[in-house]
Structure 1
Amino acid sequence: MKKRVKMVDIARAAEVSRTSVSLILNKVPGVRIAEATRQRVLQVARELGYTPGPLLSDLEPARTRVFGVLINEISSAYPVDLIYGLQNWADAQGVQVLIQVSDGAADREVAALELFDRVGVTGIVYASTFSAIVSPPALLARFRHVLLNCRREDRTGFSILPAERHGGALATHHLVEIGCQKIATITGDPWQFASRERLAGYHRTLNKAGLVALSGYEQSSDWGHRSGYEAALQLFALPNPPDGIFCQNDIVARGALEAAREQGVNVPGDVAIIGYDDREFARDLGISSVTLPYLEMAERAFAALTSAADLVDRTIFVSGKLMERASTARNQAQSA
């Protein structure tokens, strides 16, 4: 029997990510992908003899299991792993996934839900790009649904979120473990749920370790490289600069590394730097980080959605893992 060509085979042959292949072959709207990349993936798929699942219109309604995914946006930053996890699960289960992108517009959310209703979806994953408190349309209550990477303010519904507070504590505890005594942090936008939770984990760990954040040790950013760079410069200019910095995403950590190089600050000897999200470039640059467990979150979302159990009001937090790399390898640096 001829082996079925999978998206991972196409990704390997086209030298692109599995997520890019999934987005291209599923024609997910609202995604910016270079036309050359799109054409290369389609060409490789043809050459390998890739056969997609049947179209919705080709399936017998009584035997069709279609699940809707409604997400606010898709960018290169984070949600691609959520989409890949959902698509990977669907492929394994032999079901169809219909993805709609709302761009955060309430009218587009309603339109997507109405489309799901016409198609007759079995259930819906309502997903957010960033960990967030959301107010979904009332129409969503008509469907069996799971909130992914978000929850309602009143905590009603079945929600799955990354354990952001635990992740902030994990990153800070790692700095404590390697001997840092003066630990600063660079947050994201202060109003965001993820920023608040990661900062709470930072504070909790400092308190447990008997440490305090000195004046000026809490800097904020817009999650970008430039603002991370500028925040790090502020920290290095303090009369008592930190010996450890918890950057609340990897892009900010990359900016902090640039500031350290510019100022002649040795990493990790003078200051250890850890990021968050475990982006691909963090692995290339040797930035320690905490993973966002999007694949596991996606699997849990569909497992709950397809189970026979009632979806009670519950929030499940999925913990990420610490990834130790050169930017916090203080023991190795000191022994070298």
Structure 2
Amino acid sequence: MKKRVKMVDVARAANVSRTTVSLVLNGIPGVRIAETTRQRVLQVARELGYSPGPLIENLDPGRKRLFGVMINEISAAYPIDLIYGLQNWADAHGLQIVIQVTDSAADHEIAALENFARFGVEGVVYANTFTAIVSPPVSLGNFRHVLLNCRREDSSGFAVLPAERHGGMLAADHLIETGRRRIATITGDPWQLASIERLAGYHRSLNRAGLNHGARFERVSDWGHASGHAAARELLSLSAPPDALFCHNDIVARGAMAAVHEMGLKVPEDLAIIGYDDREFARDLGISSVTLPLAEMGERALSELAGESVPADRTVTVQGRLVARMSTGASR
């Protein structure tokens, strides 16, 4: 039986990211992609025989299943991975999904649900770009639904989240296992769930090993390169600087690595660095990272929604994995 061509195959053949392929093949509006790139992706998809899966009109009437996906924004790699996971699972099981972007506006969310009602969707995935506490419209309760990368304050409903605390522990444990004993961290925005949970995991591992040096080894960033660079310089300027650094995303880690080199030091000899999210550039720069399993989360959410039983009140977490590279002493 011939192997089914997937988006990742198209991305590899076209020499572009999976995100770019997803944007082009799903026809996501409002995204700027060079026309030459778009045409190359389409041409490669045609040559490889890529198919997005069966269309609704081609399915047996008794098997036509349509699901709605509403998401707050399409502005970065993260939501594309969520959508990729949803689309991948839908394709594999003969389902169709329709996506509505709401900009987190209450009236847009209500309008999206009204559209879903007209389309006759069987269920709704309520998704968020970044892990968050949300307050969906009351009318979402009219649909069988699941929450993806978000949850309600009272944890009601079925929600799928990344295991961020576990990820923080993976990062800290890896640094400990490589022999580091002065382990610092640079968080993201302190109010975001991802920062809170990743920091909690970091604390748990360091406390367990008796290596928690307290707030003097903790800095806050805005998730960006410049703030990661500044925070790393500050930490490395301490009278007794850290020998390892857990950055809460790969962009911050990239900024920290630039600071190390700028100060005439070496990675990982003087400072081991690990990031989070495992973005494509992390592989190119040799940055160790913890994966953010968004595609797997999308698959888990839709599989629950499409199952026979009504989703129960439950929060499911999906674990990422450690990817060790040069920045923590692993071979590149």
TM-score tier after normalising by the smaller chain length: over 0.9
SS at match of 1:216: helix
TM-fit CA distance, 1:29: 2.8
Counterpart of 1:259 in structure 2 is: 259
Deviations 1:210-233 (A, max 9, x none): 122245211010101111001101
> How far apart are residue 276 of structure 1 and its match?
0.5
Q: Number of matched residues?
A: 332
Residue identity matched to 1:119: F
Identify the residue that residue 190 of structure 2 maps to in structure 1: 190
Q: Distance in 1 between matches of 2:49 and 2:310?
A: 41
**Root-mean-square deviation (CA), in Å?**
2.3
Q: Distance in 1 between matches of 2:279 and 2:111?
A: 33
Q: For 2:77, give the aligned amino acid.
A: A
Alignment TM-score, normalising by the size of structure 1: 0.91
| 1:179 partner SS | coil
Q: How does 1:148-167 map to 2 (within 5 A)?
A: 148-167=148-167
Runs of 4+ in 1 over 6 A off after TM superposition: 1-4, 57-61
Q: Choose 166-175 or 48-57, whichever is displaced more.
A: 48-57
Q: For 1:199-214, what aligned pairs fall within 5 Å after superposition? A: 199-214=199-214
Aligned residue in 2 for 1:286: 286
Distance change (3 Å), C-alpha of 1:211 and 1:159? same
2:220 aligns with 220
Structure 1 residue runs of 5 or longer lacking an equivalent are: none
| Pair 1:171–1:54, CA change in 2 (3 A) | closer
Sort the Cα spacing of 1:157 and 1:252 in 2 relative to 1 into closer, same or farther, 3 A.
Answer: same
Judge which range, 134-143 or 212-221, deviates more.
212-221
Q: Which residue of 2 aligns with 1:92?
A: 92
Assess if the C-alpha contact under 8 Å between 2:286 and 2:327 holds in 1: yes
Change beyond 3 A, Cα 1:52–1:253: closer
Residue 29 of structure 1 corresponds to: 29
1:132 aligned partner, one-letter code: A
CA distance in 1, matches of 2:78, 2:214: 32
Aligned partner letter, 2:162: P
Contact 1:30–1:73 (Cα < 8 Å) also in 2: no
Aligned partners of 2:26 and 2:215: how far apart in 1?
50
For residue 317 of structure 2, what is the amino acid of its counterpart? F
Deviations 1:167-207 (A, max 9, x none): 11110111111111111100000111100111111111111
Q: Distance in 2 between matches of 1:4 and 1:204?
A: 43
Question: Equivalent pairs: percent with the same residue?
Answer: 68
C-alpha contact (below 8 Å) 1:132/1:150 kept by paired residues: yes
Instruction: Tell me how far apart the structure 2 counterparts of residues 184 and 200 of structure 1 sit (CA, whole Å).
Output: 13
Aligned to 1:113: 113
Aligned to 2:82: 82
Cα contact 1:180–1:243 (8 A) shared by 2: yes
Paired amino acid for 1:151: R
- Aligned partners of 1:248 and 1:276 also within 8 Å: yes
Q: Which amino acid aligns with 1:210?
A: G
Q: Deviations over 1:227-255 (max 9, x none)?
A: 10011011011111111110000000000
Return the TM-score normalized by structure 2. Answer: 0.92
Q: Work out whether residues 149 and 159 of structure 1, in 8 Å CA contact, stay in contact via their aligned partners in 2.
A: yes
SS of structure 2 residue aligned to 1:32: coil
Give the match's secondary structure for 2:278.
coil
How much does 1:46 deviate? 4.6
The 1:49/1:182 distance shift into structure 2, 3 A limit, reads: closer
State the secondary structure of the residue aligned to 2:77.
Answer: coil
The whole-number CA distance in structure 2 between the counterparts of 1:155 and 1:225 is 34
